[in-house]
Each structure stands twice: as C-alpha cells, then as structure tokens.
A and B are shown apart, each in its own frame.
Chain A
Amino acid sequence: MSTLFLIQFLNGLQLGVLLFLLAAGLTLVFGIMDFVNLAHGSLYMIGAFFCATLTFWTGSFLLAVPLALVATAIVGLVVETGVIRHLYQRDHLDHVLATFGFILIADTSVQLIWGPEGIAIPLPEALQGQVQILPGVIFPAYRLVIIAAGLLVAFGLYWLIGRTRLGMLIRAGASNRTMVSALGIDIKTLFTAVFALGAVLAGLAGMLIAPITEATIGMGNDIIITAFVVIIVGGIGSMKGAFIAAMLIGLIDTLGRSFLDDMLKVFIPVNAAETAGPAISSMLIYIIMAAVLALHPQGLFPPKVR
C-alpha cells in the first residue's frame, strides 16, 4: 500500500509539474498583461506537433525538443505582434472571443497539416524503460524526466522573475503598467517577450506529454481548463501560487483517481462506489476551486500589488 502511495505520489507530481508549465505561462499573461488567453492550450498542442514532426525529421526526440521550443517561440512572437497586441486595450470579453477564434483556427490548421489521426512520438531506448527508485518502487523513466525538467524550469523561472532585470520589469509591469512605461521602459517589447515566454512554457508542456499521450488535435483544450483552475486556486499573477496550486491539483486529481473508489467501498456498496468513484474524482479539483473561491477569493497566494 505504501509503495503504491509513493508511486501515485510521483504520478501526481508529474501531472502537477505539467500543469505548472501551462499555468506559469497563463498566469504571466493573465496576471501581468491582464489578457485572457484561452488559446494558451493551442500553443501546447502546436508545441507537441512541432516536436513530433521534428522527432521524425531529426530521428531524435532529445534533438527535436530544443528545435521545437524555438519554433513555438516564433509562433508566439508572430501571434502576439500580429493579433494579440491589438487586443490589450479591449475588454476581457473581446479577449475571450478572439482567442476562442484562435483555438478554432489552430485546431483546423493542425488537422489540415497533420491530419486528424495524431502522432505517436518514439522515445529514445533509455527513456522508454523503468527505474527502480527504492526496492519495490519501479517508475517509468520518462515520467521522472518530466518531473526533473519541470522542477528545473520552475527554478529557472524563480530565478528569472526574482533575480534578473527582466524579472524585475515583469513584476513592475504587473504592479503598475502605466508607471513602468512612464519611466521609459518599452512595455510593448516587454509584453511580447512575456507572451513568447508563456508560449514556450506551454509548448514545452505539450512536448513533454506527447510521448505519453500522442500529439492530438484539441489536446490543449482539455487541459487548459485544469490550468485555469490552477491559477485561480493559486492566485492570478502569482508564480509561487501557480507552482503550489499545480502540485496540489496534480496530487489531488491523481490520488483521488487512485484511492477514492476503494475508500468509498468502505461506506457504500461496491457497484455504487465503482460508478461514484470516477465521477467524484473528476469533480474533486472543481470542489477545491469552489472552496478556495468561497474562503479566499483572491486565491491562496495572491501577488502583492497596487
């Protein structure tokens, strides 16, 4: 039982890390630029498809990832300068409308270019296997790689936001946009950089998950809702909040899926538990979100602003 718990804990951590990569970009764009980007999930999908194609071209997943990151950043830059930039002055409803349109365009473009069937990405031999962490605790090697990569990016972001000049500007832009631009900072370029950074993070998440679930159309639309839950729970605009909430949601979702039906079987008949278990575990994260909104409407770790 404890072995299973440890494995499920790692699984939860892996989901959490993935959600963090998505939520980090979302919270940057939403919290700092005050822009609602529903199409964040499309960048996740585009990253996965770029990585899939490049894996087949270069013959190596490890080579494909950095190339695909660059390609996704370029898409982010083009989208920001071409479309998103003109929407900052509009209200949130226009953001939602425009980015929803972008989702439809992205999904259809992917279907036209890559076809509807999706692509399975081959992993290098070494990542395809399993690792023994402790006696009896055997875990897929690739999922450990995802956890490591995600934590590395989290530390990188912590350093970038907290310790660099760019990070300082980002934080300043979040607190008071007008003041920053009055001080002679080119806020336009800053926003473009932030959007591209968000795109890269989303793309990376897509690339990391694609060898597990395949690159498929609309893969981002399912997970983006969970990413929104993460930033609402964590506090919009807060990187620390996004990290902690992502881990929390990842663990609750995974542990709920693994242990809830067994726990329910103690109280209610087996048949009912088998049906109720999956239903409740898929609601669990929304219940958490509702609770956080009721008790702490700003999220668990709201950024100190204004």
Chain B
Amino acid sequence: MFKKTGLAALGLALMATSALAADIKIGYVTTLTTPAAVIGNDMKDAVDLAMEHLGGQMGGKSVEIIFEDDGFKPETGKQKTDKLVQQDNVPIVAGYIWSNVLLASMKTVFDEGRFLISSNAGPSQVAGNLCNQNFFSTSWQNDQTPMAMGEVLKQQGVKSLYLMGPNYAAGKDMLAGVERTFKGEIKGKDLTKWPDQLDFSAELAKAKASGAEAIFVFYPGKAGGAFIQQYQQAGLKGSMDLYSVFTVDAISLPKLQAAKLEGVLGSRMTQEWDPTLDNDANKKFVSSFREKYKRYPSFYAAQAYDTINLINSAVTAVGGDMSNTDGLRVAFKAADYGSVRGNYTVGNNGMPIQNFYLREVVTDADGNWTTKVVKTVFESHQDPYAAECPLK
C-alpha cells in the first residue's frame, strides 16, 4: 500500500518536473562577474526583455535561457560552453562579448553540430577561413565598424592618424579595419596590454609627440572610461581629435556624465545601431528597455535583443522541431525578423550585411548623455573576410 502511494507520488513528482522543464533550452554565454559584468548584465537584461516580449515561448514551445558566466576569460568561457553543449545538451549557444572567448569556445559547438549565434564578438578568423555553416551573428565582423570610421576620416579630410587599442584578437582586427579604409598617414600605433593596462600615459605622450591630426581608439568596457579621462587630462582635446569605436557607449556615458567629463560630448563613433534609429522594432525595444531598466540600452543590449528574436524566427520556422537543423539553418540565413537595426541580409559566412552609421554624443531632452545618428556611412556593407570563407 505504502509502496504504491510512494510510487504514485514519485510518478507525480516526475511529471511535475517534466511539466516545469522547458521544451527548448538555449545557452547564453556572457560576462557576469569582473567589471566587464556591466556589459553582460546589459545583455542579460535585453535577453530577459526579449523573452518577456515573446511571452517565454518560441514556435509555441516554452523556452528556457541558461546563462553562463565566462568570467572575462577564454578558458572559463570554453568550460562553460562545453558544459552547455555536453551537459545541458542545448541546440543553440548564443552570446559572447569577447572575440578571444568566442575563438576558444566555438570548436565544441561546431564539433557537436550545434548552432552558435554571436551577440557581439566578430573575430576575423570565424568570418574567414575558419567559418562554419552553423555560425550566425547579430553583431558585425570586427573590421567593419572601424572600416566605417576610416571612411568617415577620409571624407573629413583627416591627413594623419594615431592608432591605439588593446593587444588581443579584437584589438588587432579593429586597428586593421581602420587601416583598410583610411588612406592618410598612420603616424604610429600602440597595442596595450589587455585587459589589465588602464594607464595609458606613455602611449598618449607618444601619440601627442607624433603630431598626428587625430587619434583612433578601440577600448571596450572599463578601459574606455579610463581612456576618455586620460585623453582629457592630457589636454589633447582640440589638438588631436578623438575618433573611437566601441569605447563610448550607453554603459560608459552615465558614468562619464556623473564625473562631468564634458570632453566626450560631440565625440563621434560608428555603429550598426543607435537608440534613435527610426523603425518599429527599435522604438518598441528602446522605450520598453528604458521603462523597465530606467536607462538607455547599449549596442550590446540591442544585439542581444536581436539574437533572441533571430532565434525565435528560426524556431518558429521549424515549428519548434529543434532536430530539424537544416530548417533552422535556412531560417537563420534568411534572418526574417524585426531587427532593431532595420532590415539586413546574411552573408555566406553568417555575418550580417548591413548599414553602418556615424553617431555623435549628445544631450537628450531630459539632460541625459546619449548618442544620435549623424549620417549613414555604409549601406549594406559586407565584411572583407567573406571571400576567404569557402561556404556558399
């Protein structure tokens, strides 16, 4: 008797867990500890918002997002990716802020035939000869954004430039990118120790002594705020104009505003997205994000929001049947969803072919520092590595 009720209870308990467990699990790797957690949290907030907008479902199936923290380290990112693929058995791993983390992690995903959707990192290797049919991105290839900046510098008639960036995969891509389109003289170039060098005194002194007309930098995360502060303290504003990519964003601006670093107002950067872009998906995203979290979303958040919506479009296309990998792949390639950056197409290497805009730091109607679009720099721009990718 007791045995029977026991069995029944066990059965009930099993049913209850299976009812609670989601139909589809999706892995999401980002940085949730270290100072870079501020980026990861912004992305996580955007993913949560996207899931809220979808009602927690994709293609009629319930969806659970499993977040993992890469600890800002390639080796930890790889471990967490392995765990998601082997233990949680997720069909899709998404996220990845850092190019070096993505490069270390991608092999496990591709070897097991799963999909990897990058919400940010876009190393040249994965766009070129290491490309994979299961890789898709809702961001950009690293070179593209600085290429747009190089184009802007050329149009503005800047004759000489000094380059600075961190010494890791993305830093090298970014500096290479600006050199592709900027045709003036490169007066000098510094790759600084990453991620622990935050004092750029020696490099700034060199840049100043080089006599370059402008300086181009790539310093994501906490290094960005530190750089802006030192650029201002070194008195370079006015003598050497600052152009940057991924350095001044919705994450650093409130902090710079609190510290009254007005030198950053008016500085210009290129990006594939901006909170002021005029399309329905973006209006809904920006207004609901600001309402829920009381701050502007960063481009990281916008890309993370797009990642979830892209996945939703693919899962819906196959009717929630995650074993239909060919169907999923076709849908990922079609990218038929309301992206907050407006419509784009997908290249043979899984990278978006999209517009790039020039943005400027301005004060909004409420006095907050934010960005607005100045003009379109590139239309439907494809990354330069696509040709090296053997995929059709």
Please list the residues of chain A having a beta carbon within 8 angstroms of any beta carbon in chain B.
3-4, 7-8, 11-12, 14-15, 56, 111, 115-123, 128-130, 138, 140-143, 209, 211-214, 216-219, 222, 254-255, 257-258, 261, 274-275, 277-279, 282
A140-B235, A214-B255 are known contacts; what are 5 more A-B pairs with Cβ within 8 Å? Answer: A4-B206, A122-B261, A216-B198, A277-B191, A278-B191
| B205 / chain A contacts, CB cutoff of 8 Å | 4, 7-8, 11, 258
- Shortest 6 CB-CB contacts between residues of A and residues of B: A120-B259, A222-B196, A116-B37, A213-B198, A117-B38, A11-B201
B258's partner among A3, A120, A138, A274 (CB-CB below 8 A) is: A120
- Asked if B226 contacts A212 (CB within 8 A), the reply is yes
- Asked if A257 contacts B202 (CB within 8 A), the reply is yes
* A143 to B235 alpha-carbon distance, docked (Å): 12
Name which residue of chain B comes closest to A218, CB basis.
B34
B89 within 8 A of A: no
Known contacts A117-B38, A122-B260, A278-B193; A128/B233 CB under 8 A: yes
Known contacts A116-B41, A278-B167; A56/B199 CB under 8 A: no
Name which residue of chain B comes closest to A131, CB basis.
B235
* A211 to B196 alpha-carbon distance, docked (Å): 16
- Minimum C-beta distance from A56 to chain B (A): 7
| A15 / chain B contacts, CB cutoff of 8 Å | 199, 201
A121's partner among B167, B201, B222, B259 (CB-CB below 8 A) is: B259
- Minimum C-beta distance from B158 to chain A (A): 21
Name which residue of chain A comes closest to B226, CB basis.
A213
| B256 / chain A contacts, CB cutoff of 8 Å | 120
- Asked if A274 contacts B209 (CB within 8 A), the reply is no
| A213 / chain B contacts, CB cutoff of 8 Å | 198-199, 226, 229
| B226 / chain A contacts, CB cutoff of 8 Å | 212-214
B251 within 8 A of A: yes
Known contacts A8-B205, A209-B199; A218/B233 CB under 8 A: no
Known contacts A4-B209, A116-B41, A120-B229; A143/B258 CB under 8 A: no
Name which residue of chain A comes closest to B194, CB basis.
A278
A111's partner among B37, B192, B251 (CB-CB below 8 A) is: B37
* A282 to B166 alpha-carbon distance, docked (Å): 13
- Asked if A214 contacts B191 (CB within 8 A), the reply is no
| A117 / chain B contacts, CB cutoff of 8 Å | 35, 38, 222, 251, 255
- Minimum C-beta distance from B178 to chain A (A): 15
B225's partner among A11, A120, A122, A261 (CB-CB below 8 A) is: A120
In the complex, per-residue mask of B19-48: 1 if CB is within 8 Å of any chain A CB, else 0: 000000000000001111110010000000
- Minimum C-beta distance from B360 to chain A (A): 21
| Most chain A beta-carbon contacts within 10 A, residue among B34, B198, B232, B256 | B198
- Asked if B255 contacts A118 (CB within 8 A), the reply is yes
Name which residue of chain B comes closest to A1, CB basis.
B209
| A8 / chain B contacts, CB cutoff of 8 Å | 202, 205-206
| A141 / chain B contacts, CB cutoff of 8 Å | 233
Number of chain B residues close to chain A: CB under 8 A:
38
* A129 to B258 alpha-carbon distance, docked (Å): 19
23 contacts between A and B (CB under 8 A): A3-B209, A11-B201, A111-B37, A116-B35, A117-B255, A119-B255, A120-B255, A120-B259, A122-B261, A129-B235, A130-B235, A140-B235, A212-B230, A213-B229, A214-B226, A214-B229, A216-B222, A217-B34, A219-B198, A222-B196, A255-B202, A258-B205, A278-B191
- Minimum C-beta distance from B204 to chain A (A): 9
B114 within 8 A of A: no
- Minimum C-beta distance from A188 to chain B (A): 37
| B38 / chain A contacts, CB cutoff of 8 Å | 115-118
| B225 / chain A contacts, CB cutoff of 8 Å | 118, 120, 214
Name which residue of chain B comes closest to A222, CB basis.
B196
* A261 to B191 alpha-carbon distance, docked (Å): 10
| B229 / chain A contacts, CB cutoff of 8 Å | 120, 211-214
| A7 / chain B contacts, CB cutoff of 8 Å | 205, 209
B189 within 8 A of A: yes
| B235 / chain A contacts, CB cutoff of 8 Å | 129-130, 138, 140
| B37 / chain A contacts, CB cutoff of 8 Å | 111, 116
B233's partner among A11, A118, A140, A255 (CB-CB below 8 A) is: A140
* A254 to B201 alpha-carbon distance, docked (Å): 8
Name which residue of chain A comes closest to B166, CB basis.
A278
Name which residue of chain A comes closest to B203, CB basis.
A257
Name which residue of chain B comes closest to A219, CB basis.
B198
Known contacts A56-B258, A120-B259, A278-B191; A140/B34 CB under 8 A: no
* A285 to B146 alpha-carbon distance, docked (Å): 33
Known contacts A56-B258, A129-B235; A258/B189 CB under 8 A: no
